Structure 1
Amino acid sequence: MESELIAKLIVISGPSGAGKGTLIKSVLPSLDNFVVSVSATTRGRRAGERQGVDYHFLSRREFLRKVEEGLFLEWAEYGGNLYGTPRDFVDAALSTGKDVLLEIELEGARQIVEHCPVAVGIFIAPPDLQILEGRLRDRKTDSEADITLRLARACDELEAVERDRAEGGLCFDYAIVNDDLEQASRELLTTIQQIRAGNTAR
């Protein structure tokens, strides 16, 4: 009798500017039976972003109402904005055997990986903070104050992940350093394929 493959919840996290979104877009054409969850947020919409495609853009009141109703799988505050993962979309996809990919902040990733048995965590790291700063400036979407805040947060996140690793409590099963986009894309695709090939949860 063939083993039934268990649908996987693949959680990708890393500092802002590490290249998570770019890497995900680069591997999606090579993946089938796979869906990407669209997060909800209270932050303002950037140029070119589309409602329901890049994010579900909500007012703070709308977001908090959904929190009270238990409609998020996880949620966290980052840089003064709220971010959350809609529970119904993820549950529906997993129940039909589809693998789900989440791109979320570190705190949310921890919540999901630690409490969801089918979740597998992948951490995307920049080569160093200097390169990360350059990427944040190059995308020209953040103010100087926002860049300073994001760099400080990135430093804290990288230290936290390293501390978790040292203490044996690391919630990420894989780590990829995004130094070269093409190489990192290949590594991410290979990692996802390995995760999906397994017939048991982590």
Structure 2
Amino acid sequence: MMTNLFSTFDPSTNIFNLSLNWTSTFIGLFFIPSMYWLMSSRIQNMWNKMNLTLHNEFKMMLGKNSFNGTTFIFISMFIMMMLNNFMGLFPYIFTSTSHLTLTFTISLPLWLSFMVFGWINHTNHMFAHLVPQGTPPALMVFMVLIETISNMIRPGTLAVRLAANMIAGHLLLTLLGNTGPSMMLNLISILIIGQMMLLILESAVALIQAYVFSILSTLYSSEVY
């Protein structure tokens, strides 16, 4: 039962043994407004305002010592996550961000690059992060161990948080949708209203989880300066 249930999210659609479901990752590119229009539109103005807001927020978190252009990495990641999360709510569109294959592939290289840069260029600063300020001397050994473990599992928690939140909502929508044919006629309206409310909630989750992923990545990168 569980195998058949979760097989809904398997990338099994293929032609000539090529998995085509993952091409849904690039559907969001069609929704990015063109920057070559002669006259600006409301969509382009909204897009520019969103990018500027994210740039200012990420810049504040990274601090003054960050490199120029670092915020564009996290803005691009936020846009990619947001579009993939949101497009996955449409019928017959594969949600790539609900799979650890994609989320872990993004979080692990980011975390590794932060760690390598920090330990090579700011070794003393990285050692100082292992012992929080005000820790009693008797607990320093345990705090170093705890901080090291919490640092090591960061890419996994980033990946699992996004994938689990996305697949949970999709799974609930699938379960409720499959009960429709077997329900009584007078309960169908209640099911439709519940599905609509859940879809609105999932739309908010799609935006929030993309924001949380990019914000946590920004906070992790700010610790290496």
Q: After TM superposition, is the score higher than 0.5? A: no
Q: TM (normalized to structure 1)?
A: 0.27
Normalising by structure 2, we get a TM-score of 0.25
Higher RCO (CA < 8 A, seq sep 6+) = 1
